[in-house]
Amino acid sequence: MAGRVYLVGAGPWDPGLLTLRGQTLLRRADTVIYDYLVNPEILQHTRADALLVPTGRSSYRMTQAEICQRLVDECRLGRHVVRLKGGDPFVFGRGGEEAEALRKVGLEFEVVPGVTAAIASCAYAGIPVTHRDYGSTLGLCTGHSRDDEPDTDLNWGALASLDTIVFYMAAKRLSRVRDNLIAAGRPQKTPVALVRWATRADQQTVVTDLDGMVDAAAAQKMTAPMTIVIGEIVNLRRTISWYEKRPLFGQRIVVTRSHRQRGELSTRLSDLGAQVIPYPTIDFEPIPDGIAEVISTFQCFDWVVFTSANAVNFFLDQLLDAGADLRIFGTIKIACIGPATAEGLVKRGLVADLVPKRYVAEGLLDALGQVSLAGQKILIPRALIARNTLPDALRVAADVVVLPVYKTVPAQVDLGVHERLIDGAFDIITFTSSSTVTNFVSKFNSTNLEHIRSTCVVVCIGPVTAQTAAENGFRVVAVAHEYTIDGLVQSLEEYVSSVDKADYSDH
Ligand code: SAH
């Protein structure tokens, strides 16, 4: 039994622009054959055992005939084959040629449209492709036809008469587009937008006019992939640009949290328009050695104090692994250092009795000081290495047991990201604990570190982290008022907007 081929549009780049149908088919696919313009994040929807076949880029690139043959071969093996293409498979994507090849040998296929680059570029640059006041005709056009043939002549007269024209694959043929459209009567001052890497966090838009577009592209180093949008409608961008107006747009921000924790901060920052560069400096490993003994004497405790969501998770995991469950808490009271820890606790089905107003050890001490601790027995499950402020102070009145349930270890470094940081290709580093600072520093030699310190600024989650960062020579420009991820994001936003304002006043 032969399989079936799905020609699926992946959209321009942003993985959120994949269709639901595309996602469903990727989940089912046995084989995925994909182009370089497809965001690799989209491949996360595939099964772990799916065969992933890139069609290659410059050094090795499958020919169209090879791609068609591979589709046929995979399909004949009875496999579900997803042919994943950037944008839409039928818009300058050779999807038609692949469908013909499959039909010719009698194989089944399905086509799933995608958001094509022209539409996405205009949407994300704030240019409506049609508008009742500006244009009722829209042309999609390619700057060159086939790799193996000279440029075929377009009907420039017909093109010039369209209200809006969007060119694909024309980065190297800008002067040809300019000369021909002007010769065909399009005014030199016709507005033009060049949109590079549309829908990515580093999207670049250059607004110019027909006459000036070649020089503007060279001056701004605009290269493929980009679309060229030509027509009066480009002027609307002044009013309705939105993607590039988000508060953190254009900021390249390094997130140093562990893989396990980085999700929330990264998502918040990218939603605000930042380009997030994950560089996890720490990871966590459980230390399950002490749990059995603690369980056997658990009923002696009056309080359990958690100082991080990690402590909550490692402790409760170990409790379950050891055969106990939440009922063990009975009437034992629980304190948390801050809201993130308390939230981590709620996710595990427990509610804290006490959360202080200030989210540092001292705040927790003040709050605990309000309750009588004399003669009480307190358990603190936490990291192997941590500040002793809290247990030491509590020991004055109470009997304190510190149980190390996890330790921080250095994370594996992603070499590609490491190189980018050495090159200084980022603006801001976020640190969420002193160990993220010290581990970050340990990854670079002194020359590289000096370069990084001089080219970027640092934003920290709280004063202790900020002090460690300052001691390590970083320029700390903002510290969260509230020592949480929300607080960190807010301070970062305030910092960026204050710099933007300063930039304007300079001009
Ligand atoms: N099938 C694709 C087009 C493939 S041709 C689609 O429907 O979008 C490749 C050309 O698409 C590039 O040369 C460029 O002009 C355009 N393109 C693709 N992705 C783009 C992006 N993210 N931003 C701007 N242009 C893009």
Percent of residues, the chain, with pLDDT higher than 90? 73
DSSP E strands, 25-181: 31-34, 51-54, 80-85, 108-112, 138-142, 164-168
From the CB of 87, is ligand 1 less than 6 Å away? yes
Helices vs strands, H then E, count in the chain: 19, 20
- Burial status of residue 241 (CB atoms within 10 A of its CB: 0-12, 13-18, 19 or more): middle
CA 48–ligand 1 middle distance (angstroms): 28
**Is 112 within 8 Å of 62 (Cβ atoms)?**
no
C-alpha span between 134 and 120 (Å, rounded) = 19
Phi, psi of 182 (to 5 degrees): -65, -45
Query: CA angle at residue 235 from 176 to 502, to 5 degrees?
Result: 110
Q: Do residues 485 and 266 touch, judged by C-beta distance below 8 A? A: no
N-term to C-term CA, the chain: 69
Residue 180: is it exposed, middle or buried by C-beta count within 10 angstroms (0-12/13-18/19+)?
Answer: middle
78 forms beta bridges with: none
For ligand 1, whether the C-beta of 88 sits within 6 Å is yes
b/e sequence 472-496, b meaning 16+ C-beta within 10 Å: bebebbbbbebbbbebbbbbbbebb
Q: Residue 364 and residue 379: Cα distance in Å, rounded?
A: 14
Using DSSP, state whether 134 is helix, strand or coil.
coil
Strands 31-34 and 51-54, bridge-based pairing: parallel
Residue 270 belongs to what H/E stretch? Answer: helix 259-271
pLDDT of 149: 56
State phi, psi for 84 to the nearest 5 degrees: -100, 125
pLDDT tens per residue, range 410-453: 888 888 889 988 888 899 999 998 988 998 999 999 999 999 99
> What pLDDT score does 370 carry?
72
Which numbered atom of ligand 1 lies nearest the CA of 224?
13
| Confidence tier at 505 by pLDDT (50, 70, 90) | low
**What value does the mean pLDDT take over residues 283-303?**
93
Cα(198) to centroid of ligand 1, in Å? 9
Report whether pLDDT(31) > 80.
yes
Kindly report the protein residue whose alpha carbon is nearest to atom 11 of ligand 1.
168
How is residue 13 annotated by DSSP?
S
Our CA dihedral for 383, 386, 392, 397, rounded to 10 degrees, sits at -30
Neighbour order of strands in the sheet with 108-112: 51-54, 31-34, 80-85, 4-9, 108-112
| Ligand 1 centroid – CA 447 distance (Å) | 39
Asked if residue 137 has pLDDT above 70, the reply is yes
Q: Whose CA is nearest to atom 1 of ligand 1?
A: 93
How far CA 209 is from CA of 162, 186, 212, 227, in Å, comes to 16, 11, 5, 14
pLDDT interval class at 504 (50, 70, 90): low
pLDDT at 248: 95
Mean pLDDT rounded to a whole number for the chain: 91
pLDDT digits (tens, 9 = 90+) for 243-262: 999 999 999 999 998 766 65
pLDDT at residue 116 greater than cutoff 60: yes
In this predicted model, what pLDDT tens digit does every residue of 352-385 receive, in sequence order? 998 887 767 777 777 777 777 788 999 999 999 8
**pLDDT of the residue at 318:** 96
Whether the bond into 356 is cis, omega within 30 of 0: no
* Cβ(93) – ligand 1 distance below 6 Å: yes
Reported as type and span, the H/E element at residue 204 is strand 204-209
20-29, long-range: CB within 8 Å, 24+ apart, which pairs?
A: 21/112, 22/84, 22/112, 22/114, 25/80, 25/82, 25/112, 26/82, 26/84, 28/80, 29/80, 29/81, 29/82
Please give the domain boundaries of the chain with CATH numbers for all domains. Answer: 4-115 (3.40.1010.10), 119-244 (3.30.950.10), 252-281+411-506 (3.40.50.10090), 285-407 (3.40.50.10090)
Burial class (CB in 10 A: 0-12, 13-18, 19+), 138: middle
Whether the full predicted model's pTM is greater than 0.85, yes or no, is no
Q: How far apart are CA 463 and CA 470, in angstroms?
A: 10
